[in-house]
Chain A
Amino acid sequence: MNENIKEKISALADGELSEFEVRRVLDEIEKEPDLRNYWDLLQITRRSLINEDLGNIGIDISGRVRRELSGRKPHAVKNYSSYPSYKSYLAATAGLALVFGINFVITPSYTDTDSFSDEASQTIANAIASPEALEVLNNSVMGMNAKLRDFNYVSGGGMHANYVFPKDGKKFRVSLSPVLSEYKVKQAPELRRIFIKTDKGVFVVSVSGNITDEKKSRILQNANYFSSQIK
């Protein structure tokens, strides 16, 4: 393990990191599970030092909490009345995907920043059309108080969801699409994306719209975090 990162984790435990550093450390922990164990050990050490009771230190429910939260509707999209519930969307589209296959819809109302080959492999197309993949999009905006406006499947096996922040009316789109050999993307300055490798193929999650880069990064990190559901 990198000593420099461990030192930062130690400082994080003391609340002595800047917000920027915190994000960097969380990124590192996400990449290297041993660092997460280091955080755990650090807590035990500190509790031992201050003579705090060490009961139940071997118990770990963190995996259960994470799985439970990733499989349910997050609070970020809970209170909107002007749009149908996302759960309804999920249930309906999952059912449609199962019965009718993927229904490709192109939505010209939004600036097109991605264009994909029509030759998406059926495997990854199916993976993206799965309820789990829909949950990835759902979870990507967890905690951001964004409201879902609509979502659509797009030509080439991808899908995207359009959101709005009710506070300021800013709109953005989160897309989930397969990465293909003929994958082409317009280099729109407002678009941020990550590539996620799964056993069904590599796909890209992208965010575009009039929101801050920090929010876009946050959405992509969440999507990456919860993408294990479709692996």
Chain B
Amino acid sequence: MVDKQSKKQTNKEADLTLVRRAKKGDYRAFDLLVLKYQSRIVSIAFKFVKEIQLAEDISQESFIKAYRSIDSFREESAFYTWLYRITANTAKNYLVSKGRRKESSISELSIFENEDFFELPTNDSPEQILMAQSLKDTIYDALSGLPEDTRTALSLREFEGLNYEEIAEIMNCPVGTVRSRIFRGREALENLISPVTDKFKVMNNKEIV
């Protein structure tokens, strides 16, 4: 059974490690958070402004605001929730300043106030949507082909949101073994999806860093 609360809690704690480094001035930690959330943040901004270039600009500004005020993030909510609010406010302020708020209906915006709304709008072409579906199919096929121990550890982590210690207890093995199994499982999946994500990047003209 998927324990959504447990999963959210675990993800929140995962981000906090990096957030706390960023609070100490370690930009490299914040950079990893940018990489993790940028596509979701662009999707949120796109929902408001309906132009991908503008959505990217608003996302950029939102991350900058987040970094500059990261000391004010009190860790009571998830980092993503906090970032989400900054993005929504930045986008709304933009629309207000441009007198374009009417482009997004009130009902649209209020639905979007829910941070758990994961079916984010995108500017993806039909081809990209098909590729995304194909990617998911590939991953699920690969998951079922993993050794049982690896699949179990990975599933407990990703679907049940358990931490390594909890998984180790369930699987009756050391925490280090859990870490290794989860890594191996992800490796197997990544090898399959890497070529697909490369195509996405070409399509979206991903910036080379």
Q: CB within 8 Å of B: which of A43-66? A: 43-46, 48-66
A182 within 8 A of B: no
Task: Determine the chain B residues whose CB is within 8 A of the CB of A46 once the complex forms.
Answer: 158, 186
Tell me the chain A residues, 61-92 only, with Cβ under 8 Å from chain B.
61-66, 68-69, 72, 74-76
Interface string of A20-53 (1 = CB under 8 A from B): 0011001001100100101111111110111111
Contacts A16-B163, A69-B67 given; indicate if A225 touches B27 (C-beta within 8 A). Answer: yes
User: Which residues of B are at the interface with A, using a C-beta cutoff of 8 A?
Assistant: 10, 13-18, 20-29, 31-32, 34-36, 38-40, 42-43, 46, 56, 59-60, 63-64, 67-71, 118-124, 132, 135-136, 139, 143, 154, 157-159, 163-164, 179-180, 182-183, 186-187, 189-190, 193-194, 197, 200-207, 209
Distance between A182 CB and nearest chain B CB, rounded to angstroms: 34
Q: What is the CB-to-nearest-CB distance from B65 to chain A, in angstroms, rounded to a whole number?
A: 10
User: Which one of A33, A38, A69 contacts B27 once the chains associate, using CB atoms below 8 Å?
Assistant: A69
How far apart sit A59 and B157, CA to CA, in the bound complex (Å)?
A: 27
Q: Does A12 interact with chain B (Cβ within 8 Å)?
A: yes
Q: Could you say which interface size class chain A belongs to?
A: 35 or more
The 8 Å CB contact of B24, one of A14, A58, A143, is: A143
Instruction: Tell me, yes or no, whether A15 is within 8 Å of chain B by CB.
Output: yes
Is A221 part of the binding interface, using a Cβ–Cβ cutoff of 8 Å? yes
Q: Check B56 against A61 for contact (C-beta < 8 Å).
A: yes
Q: Once the chains bind, are A49 and B143 in contact (CB under 8 Å)?
A: yes
Given contacts A16-B163, A45-B139, A62-B38, are A57 and B197 in contact (CB under 8 A)? yes
Q: Which residue of A lies closest to B14 (CB)?
A: A15
Taking the closest CB of chain B, its distance from the CB of A174, in whole angstroms, is: 13
What is the CA–CA distance of A65 and B206 in the complex, to the nearest angstrom?
14
Find chain B residues with CB under 8 A from A219 CB.
25
Q: Find out whether the CB atom of A39 lies under 8 angstroms from the CB atom of B32.
A: yes
Q: Among the listed B35, B42, B132, which residue makes an inter-chain contact with A40, where contact means beta carbons less than 8 Å apart?
A: B35
B67: chain A residues at CB < 8 Å are: 65, 69, 75
**Smallest Cβ-Cβ distance to B184: which chain A residue:** A7
Looking across the interface, which residue of chain A has its beta carbon closest to that of B201? A58
Chain A residues near B60 (CB-CB < 8 A):
61, 64-65, 68
Chain A residues with CB under 8 Å of B207's CB are 60-64
- A42 to B, closest residue via Cβ: B186
Task: Decide: A50 and B159 in contact? CB cutoff 8 A.
Answer: yes
Contacts of A40 in B (CB 8 A): 35
- List residues of chain A with CB within 8 A of the CB of B118: 52-53
In the complex, are the beta carbons of B190 and A23 less than 8 A apart? no
| Contact B13–A225 (Cβ < 8 Å) | no
B123 touches A56 (CB 8 A): yes
Could you tell me if B31 and A22 are in contact, using CB atoms closer than 8 angstroms? no
Offer 20 A-B interface pairs, CB within 8 angstroms, sorted by A: A10-B179, A10-B186, A11-B164, A14-B14, A14-B164, A19-B17, A23-B21, A36-B35, A45-B186, A45-B190, A53-B120, A54-B135, A57-B197, A59-B204, A61-B34, A61-B56, A65-B63, A72-B64, A141-B25, A143-B25
Measured between beta carbons, the chain A residues less than 8 angstroms from B158 are: 46, 49-50
A142 an interface residue at 8 Å Cβ cutoff?
yes
Complex A-B, nearest 8 residue pairs according to Cβ-Cβ distance, in ascending order: A55-B122, A143-B25, A58-B204, A15-B14, A58-B200, A56-B39, A7-B183, A10-B183
Q: Which of A50, A58, A61 contacts B63 (CB 8 A)?
A: A61
With A56-B42, A58-B200 already in contact, the answer to whether A66 and B27 are too (CB < 8 A) is yes
Q: How far is the CA of A76 from the CA of B116 in the complex (A)?
A: 32
Say yes or no: A62 contacts B190, CB within 8 Å. no
A192 at the interface (CB under 8 A from B): no
Q: What residue in chain A is nearest B16 (Cβ atoms)?
A: A15
> Which chain A positions have C-beta within 8 A of B154?
49
CA distance A15 to B187 in the complex (A): 18
Instruction: Please report the C-alpha to C-alpha distance between residue A58 and residue B200 in the assembled complex, in whole angstroms.
Output: 5
Cβ of A49: which chain B residues have Cβ within 8 Å of it? 139, 143, 154, 158-159, 189
